[in-house]
């Protein structure tokens, strides 16, 4: 692959956005290759947690601006459509996806991170949706996902100004869950991923689905989905074993 590299390390699948000389800017090839890689890891039973990060000093500096010049309206529409479908795919994947933000996460790069389930960032990272400075606006889901994470006012302020924010501020606003030093980033991500990978994969997958669908539904519909699904999670061999283990330890 030209723009993505994959490190298969069961139970983890590490996806690297890999155009470091262009700060991992997203072109059509990257959308295509990231989609293929996600599909490959989705069908790989040994992979329980997917981690997306960037090679070099950036997570991703957004859509490739030099590429914009080559797009006619039809290709631009298709690029945005394919990008949006890829973000939806990541968000709805039956496996947890962590964005390990190692540097700039801007424009389409932040939109990839926002489609992931959890964001862990290095202290040096800077995040933002600077599309407005180019006279455009986010096209891979940013206008919808940012306000859901940080609230309407903060999201509008970020998109109206295009200003970059620090990882610490992003954590304060709820855009990033964890901030660590650059040196600790990979190790802390591994710790987080190890803990998640050790849980029941059925339960993890159901939680993800319930949270995502629940946030788009009424509280009543969400609570009903939770009750209906709960009976299924309860009957898995994994749940039975964990419950038996707990009870037998208490008896012993
Ligand atoms: C059609 C659907 C669109 C979907 C919606 C998405 C839209 C977007 O994402 S628009 C892009 C939003 N991103 C930006 O506006 C960020 C642009 N980049 C920067 O502002 C800076 O590069 C920086 C602040 C992130 C880093 O600055 P610095 O450390 O000084 O590094 P350089 O500027 O020298 O960058 C190194 C190298 O990378 C190229 N590059 C950086 N970002 C992009 C980009 N988004 N697209 C294309 N190329 C990018 C930069 O041009 C340099 O390349 P060379 O000049 O060949 O060395």
Q: Is 94:205 a contact under the CB 8 Å cutoff?
A: yes
Mean pLDDT of 77-85: 94
Query: Which positions ≥6 away from 187 have C-beta within 8 Å?
Result: none
Q: How far is the CA of 62 from the centre of ligand 1 (A)?
A: 7
Q: How far is the CA of 58 from the centre of ligand 1 (A)?
A: 10
Q: Is 131 a catalytic residue?
A: yes
The pLDDT value recorded for residue 156 is 98
Query: Which positions ≥6 away from 154 have C-beta within 8 Å?
Result: 147, 173
Classify domain 4-197 by CATH number. Answer: 3.90.226.10
Mean pLDDT of 19-46: 97
The pLDDT value recorded for residue 153 is 98
Does the structure show a pLDDT above 80 at 95? Answer: yes
Domain boundaries, the chain: 4-197, 201-251
Residue 251 banded pLDDT, cuts 50, 70, 90: confident
Does the structure show a pLDDT above 90 at 119? Answer: yes
Angle at the Cα of 166 from the Cα atoms of 131 and 5, rounded to 5 degrees: 70
Mean pLDDT of 45-51: 98
Test site for ligand 1: of 17, 23, 70, 144, most ligand atoms within 8 A of the Cβ: 23
Q: What are the angstrom distances between the C-alpha of 7 and each of 26, 54, 108? A: 20, 12, 23
Interface predicted TM-score (ipTM): 0.98
Nearest CA to ligand 1 atom 25: 61
Query: Which atom from ligand 1 is nearest to the alpha carbon of 142?
Result: 5
Q: Pick the catalytic residue: 46, 74, 85, 111?
A: 111
Q: What is the pLDDT of residues 126-174, one digit of tens each?
A: 999 999 999 999 999 999 999 999 999 999 999 999 999 999 999 999 9
d(CA 129, CA 165): 10
The pLDDT value recorded for residue 230 is 86
Q: Pick the catalytic residue: 28, 33, 131, 171?
A: 131
Mean pLDDT of 3-15: 98
The encoded tokens of residue 191 equal: 């710790």
The whole model's pTM is what? Answer: 0.97
- 201-251 sits in which CATH class? mainly alpha
Does the structure show a pLDDT above 90 at 46? Answer: yes
Ligand 1 binding pocket (C-beta < 6 A) is: 22-23, 25, 61-66, 76, 79-80, 83, 104, 106-108, 130-131, 134, 138-140
Does the structure show a pLDDT above 90 at 250? Answer: no
Does the structure show a pLDDT above 70 at 252? Answer: no
Q: What is the pLDDT of residues 224-237, one digit of tens each?
A: 999 988 888 888 99
Q: How far is the CA of 245 from the centre of ligand 1 (A)?
A: 52
Q: Is 183 a catalytic residue?
A: no
């Amino acid at each position: 692959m030209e723009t993505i590299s994959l490190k298969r390390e069961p139970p983890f699948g590490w996806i690297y956005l890999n155009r470091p000389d262009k700060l991992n800017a997203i072109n059509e090839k990257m959308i295509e290759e990231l989609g293929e890689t996600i599909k490959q890891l989705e069908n790989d039973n040994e992979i329980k947690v997917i981690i997306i990060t960037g090679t070099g000093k950036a997570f991703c500096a957004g859509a490739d601006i030099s590429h914009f010049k080559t797009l006619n309206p039809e290709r631009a529409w298709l690029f945005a459509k394919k990008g949006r479908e890829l973000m939806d795919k990541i968000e709805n994947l039956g496996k947890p996806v962590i964005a390990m933000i190692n540097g700039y996460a801007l424009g389409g790069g932040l939109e990839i991170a926002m489609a992931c389930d959890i964001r862990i960032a290095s202290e040096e990272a800077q995040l933002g949706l600077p599309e407005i400075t180019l006279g455009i606006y986010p096209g891979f889901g940013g206008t919808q996902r940012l306000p859901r994470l940080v609230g309407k006012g903060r999201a509008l302020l970020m998109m109206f100004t295009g200003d970059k924010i620090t990882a610490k501020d992003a954590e304060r606003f709820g855009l990033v869950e964890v901030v660590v030093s650059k040196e600790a980033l990979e190790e802390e991500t591994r710790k987080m991923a190890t803990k998640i990978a050790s849980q029941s994969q059925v339960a993890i997958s159901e939680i993800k689905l319930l949270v995502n669908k629940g946030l788009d539904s009424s509280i009543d519909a969400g609570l009903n989905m939770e009750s209906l699904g709960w009976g299924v999670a309860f009957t898995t061999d994994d749940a039975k074993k964990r419950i038996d283990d707990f009870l037998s330890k208490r008896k012993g």
